[in-house]
Amino acid sequence: MLLFGIFKVVPYAGFLGIIWIVVTLGITIYHGMNVFSKNGVAFGYVEKKNKRILK
């Protein structure tokens, strides 16, 4: 997919094609870190609140 972007999108779209490639590389690196690292990279965090009954 990256090679398609370099050889087809960049010559056709110019500067927008370069932006396209940079964004695609960023997404690829982000998901690669999630797959190949122990902890992964969190997109967001969820905090749990203690359940307590209010009277």
Mean pLDDT of the residues in the chain: 77
Spatial contact of 9 and 18, defined as CB atoms under 8 Å apart: no
- Full-model pTM: 0.56
The pLDDT > 70 percentage for the chain reads: 80
Given pLDDT bands bounded at 50, 70 and 90, which one contains residue 12? confident
pLDDT at 1 over 70: no
pLDDT at 39 over 80: no
Q: Please state, in angstroms and rounded to a whole number, the distance separating the CA atoms of residues 16 and 49.
A: 44
Spatial contact of 41 and 31, defined as CB atoms under 8 Å apart: no
Q: Please state, in angstroms and rounded to a whole number, the distance separating the CA atoms of residues 35 and 46.
A: 20
pLDDT at 54 over 70: no
